[in-house]
Amino acid sequence: MIQQAIDFRDESDATFALLGQLDDGDWARKTQFKQWTINDIVAHLHLGNYMADLSLNDEPAFAALMRKLATPAKPGTSRLASTHAWLEGVRNRDLLHRWREFYCEMAARFAEADPKRRVKWVGPDMSVLSSITARLMETWAHSQAIYDLLGMERGDTERIKNVAVIGINTFGWTFANRKLPVPAERPYVCLAAQSGATWEWGQPSESNLIAGSAVEFCQVVTQVRNIADTKLRVIGETATSWMSIAQCFAGPPENPPPPGSRFRQG
């Protein structure tokens, strides 16, 4: 049993409970994430889940869908528009329930899979364990834009450690993805979880250090907050450089949001 698959389902359930409170008009409201609507975010999450499930169960179908998304019928179509076209216009509460039905079934399949098996993805191949953990991370990160739009503070649980681990594990990749030299010495990371637990990585150091809220660290590595909008203590050239470009998700380099551009509204 892969615990991260259960964590993914539980994180998705928390977002489902939040979305279940929405009126029909709320689904078209724009968030601070690239001006995406709530519909856009849920559509994106659903397609990502569907692709990850295909990579686990039907690699040829995964490759075919990747080709289709890469070559839309109408040139110049955005990836987001292609996502909605793939959904054939399903939106609002119909989309909500389609997303939930699928992620519940998907979580059960991943829970029973071999965690070490390699599967395809839009970037490098990854393990089954990494694949489902990445889906949890994406769900958590994109949900932040919805919490912010609704002016609500999320009550995070120990599940967030999965996101922190991805952030730690992508330290080197963050630099390599930008064709920058990977620093030889990783920073010491010391995070305070909401439960009161302390999570640590690396050798204790006061000259190469990132310390503070686990939630804020996860917000920075997923690029839902700029480091300037957190209370994280960042000391040293390597730690400062990392936090200025941290990116724990696949794809080409993306810059963090500008300071002050993403926050809890209301």
Classified as helix, coil or strand, 155 is: coil
| Strand order through the sheet with 198-201 | 198-201, 188-192, 209-213, 233-235
Q: Are residues 178 and 148 in the same domain?
A: no
**Is residue 61 situated within a structural domain?**
yes
- Distance, CA of 154 to CA of 256 (rounded, Å): 21
Q: Are residues 214 and 132 in the same domain?
A: no
Burial of 74 (0-12, 13-18, 19+ CB in 10 A): exposed
Q: Are residues 38 and 98 in the same domain?
A: yes
Which residues constitute the domain of residue 199?
162-245
Q: Are residues 196 and 116 in the same domain?
A: no
Q: Which residues of the chain have pLDDT under 70?
A: 73, 76
Per-residue confidence (pLDDT) for residue 73, from 0 to 100: 67
Q: Are residues 174 and 137 in the same domain?
A: no
**Is residue 262 situated within a structural domain?**
no
Give the CATH number, domain containing residue 86. 1.20.120.450
Per-residue confidence (pLDDT) for residue 150, from 0 to 100: 96
- pTM for the model stands at 0.96
Summarised one tens digit per residue, pLDDT across range 194-252 is: 899 999 999 999 999 999 999 999 999 999 999 999 999 999 999 999 999 999 999 99
